[in-house]
Structure 1
Amino acid sequence: MPYRKQIQYCKITIHPTEAGDDSRYTTTDVGESFLEAIRTEDWQQVSDVLTTHSPHYSAFLDTLREVEPADLDTLLERLEELQDQTPYSFNQTSVEVLGDWAERLVRVQRNAFTGRYYETDQSDTAWAFCDVLLEAYDDLEQTTGVNLRQRYLSIPHLRESVCERTRQARDRFDKTLVDVCQQNVGKLELSGAPLDTAAKDAALGIKQIERADGGALVSTSQSTQQVMAGVELYDKKYYYLAVYDRDITVEQEDA
């Protein structure tokens, strides 16, 4: 009976040749679907395969869903409590690696200013954007003197706060904010002033993954520049938002 060894996560099977002096590698159906998802850059499918076949990855997502939004210490503490019931163990490094890959595969996001993880909502259902935007605006508004408040607030800070509260992707925030501003002229104002030194406030960069070198390899990246990006309207970048009238609404497209 030929020797067969299966590697848990990618499901790679190893068979000896007929001569028995060498080995060749073949993939199972699961492995083929995993590779095909990478070739087509279907990162959601890649995440789904890992969720099904990687106990560490699935445990990370299940635990995050239970305690989100959560910082690294909270996640690790809960995973350590659960590991007594399983043969799997976790430490700070492994949790960070799992979180990085879940972020690259667009399954989770991490607040670039607080470091808290949360699972993103993959649906396109309507959301109470205006209410949450105003709540985040109020929480971020800084007192600058007696009865004086900072009117123009950083869009990157608002983006991270709103996305964490709603579990929405950053690009959906950008699109909806532009729609709200266009539909509420005079009530909201975008400012094009660039952010000077605010980038240093972003402790964490956005992690991404893409195919590279003609598709033979995948590459990963991390950048705080994306965190500190503004929104674009009529080919102009805006980095700050001011609220003059709180009676704002937005017509959202049907999913």
Structure 2
Amino acid sequence: MNIKHNLLDIEGTTAPIAFVHQILFPYAKKHIVGFLKNYQFTEVKWEEIRLEFEKDIVLREEKFVSRFSANGSNLKSELLSFSPEVVPSYFEYLIEKDRKFGPLKEVQGKIWKQGYESGEIKSTVYPDVLEFLKKMQAEGIQNHVYSSGSVEAQILIYQYSELGDLRNYFVSYYDTAVGGKRDKQSYENIAIELKSPSNQIRFFTDIVEEAEAASSAGMDVVILNRPGNIPQKPHSFPVWDHF
């Protein structure tokens, strides 16, 4: 097989899940209220947030209703209508739910940027990643990133890693603007962006459903089984413990 592109997931693949969930998410949650005081969303983003909030009203998930009801107590209470004032608390709720929501990812990326630049955050990347990237680059294989985090957040992880600045080893970055990571069309879109047949792209992930979507689009697939990763359902994909 003539692989010309590596498409790499981040969480659970090149970086530990614990770094994302125990460092990045709590940092964003801690700073999000203060950050949003001076942040201006576009009208398009406001509409996107409003629609997401109203979808949660319809779903009436108990924690959501408890947080945003008029009296903050029960499922039958009247819900608050959407307003800018509820957004900070709503984003905290979305972080708790690990919701893959574009406007939230955008804000998280900017908060993390401040943390990285101040030195409060240093990203953890698995030690074997650097040698793998160097080897692939030396062999003429291009490295790309596809993660649910915003492109800005992806770049920051590799720029401020404990292994040094790794940005020179990557050619391009993709987030959910190309589509969801469990959707076949997303991988077809990336292949089009790369101007490459799908069978010349190898996708690395820790999630079987993502692997299935990439495989159905014609990509070669490898699943990473890193320490702390979530156990996966039975599958026939090759499994690596390291690069």
TM-score of the superposition, structure 2-length normalised? Answer: 0.29
Q: Name which one, 1 or 2, has greater alpha-carbon Rg.
A: 1
TM-score in terms of structure 1 length: 0.28
Greater helix percent: which structure? 2
Bigger proportion of residues as strand: 1
Greater relative contact order: 1 or 2 (C-alpha under 8 angstroms, separation 6 or more)?
2
